[in-house]
Amino acid sequence: MRDDELQTLVDEFLYLVEVGSGSTAADESELAHLLDRLALALREGVDPGEPEEAPEIPARDRDVLEKVAGSRFPGYGDYNRATPTVGRLRDARVEAGNAHRDVATIADHLHATAWLWRRADWEVGLWYLHASHRESWGPAMRALQLYLQVRESAARAEAGEDDVSPKGPGD
């Protein structure tokens, strides 16, 4: 993904959370789409090395971001997710996730990234994007993607479209 495409993607996510696209259904659909694009962009992107000295990023009010996310996505709420576990699968537990908090966390880090791109330079912002994804909002993004997929499947089943899975050999 080119630099300008990545910057546009970050701007589109922030615009969706803060302004929306006109309807709750459209906002929900666009959120799922943007999360998928962000995941792919970060998978393909080059993670630059840590800068010698990263600028101090101004703090944002996460509570405000969470309230904005709540107004933009009113049907979202708490959901179950497995605790991150690798290797010791029997040690995994279920914990509560919150979609509004997850959207706010992602938006907060994308705001910081955009701020660094404007105030520092591209490489510092790109480093922060990758580092914050790895250390903070990446797991929240993946859990949120799964939550949205489950909600979509449940809505289809409720609408009587529950037999939409593709048939495999022998079915």
Give per-residue pLDDT as tens, 66-109. Answer: 999 999 999 999 998 877 666 666 777 777 889 999 999 999 99
Are the C-beta atoms of 48 and 130 separated by less than 8 Å?
yes
Nearest to 130, CA basis, from 149, 147, 116:
116
H or E segment at 98?
strand 94-98
CA dist 100 and 148 (Å) reads: 12
More reliable by pLDDT, 169 or 21: 21
Are the C-beta atoms of 104 and 69 separated by less than 8 Å?
yes
More reliable by pLDDT, 48 or 127: 127
Domains and CATH numbers, the chain: 3-50+57-158 (1.20.120.1550)
Give per-residue pLDDT as tens, 113-155. Answer: 999 999 988 999 999 999 999 999 999 999 999 999 999 898 8
- Torsion angle defined by CA atoms of residues 160, 31, 5 and 115, in that order, rounded to the nearest 10 degrees: -170
Angle, to 10 degrees, between the axis of helix 24-44 and the axis of helix 138-158? 140
pLDDT at 47: 76
